[in-house]
Structure 1
Amino acid sequence: MGIFDWKHWVVLLIVVVLVFGTKKLKNLGSDLGESIKGFRKAMNTDEEAEKAAQEKREQPLDAQQPHTIDAQAQKVEEPARKD
């Protein structure tokens, strides 16, 4: 005989239903379920964004920003100075 006795839980359930009513309990359950879904979705989105940022940090600099230099060096001759 303690708080874990099934009879106590039945009485507690009946009192809760009488106080709140079945409609409010149903709405409370659906609201709680939607909140949990939203939380999970936000956590998954954060994890995906964090994973993408981590992969970008792990890539070498050349892979992140490819650069191509296409030029030919030319020697510039200076004009002769007259002293």
Structure 2
Amino acid sequence: MGSFSLMHWMIVLAVVLLLFGAGKLPSVMGDLAKGMKTFKAGLKDEKETEQPPLLKDAG
């Protein structure tokens, strides 16, 4: 499973265009971008709410 050639990406693009149509593609990509932003914001919020572990004195 190495890198894909230009021909592979052309075939993927053609299949996506056939499934969604050229008019719907921008809205699909916009929804995908919104989902990614929401996911990243959720990860950021989760990291901020986590408490660091308490360290005990050895002495």
Q: How many residues align?
A: 53
Cα distance in structure 2, aligned partners of 1:29 and 1:15: 15
* TM-score of the pair, normalised by structure 2: 0.60
- Segments of 4+ in structure 1 off by > 6 A? none
Q: Specify every segment of 5 or more residues in structure 2 that has no aligned partner in the other structure, as ranges.
A: 55-59
Higher relative contact order (CA 8 A, sep 6+): 2
* Superposed CA RMSD: 2.8
Percent of residue pairs identical: 33
Larger Rg belongs to: 1
**One-letter amino acid of the structure 1 residue matched with residue 23 of structure 2:** K
Shift of the alpha carbon at 1:9? Answer: 3.4
Q: Specify every segment of 5 or more residues in structure 1 that has no aligned partner in the other structure, as ranges.
A: 59-83
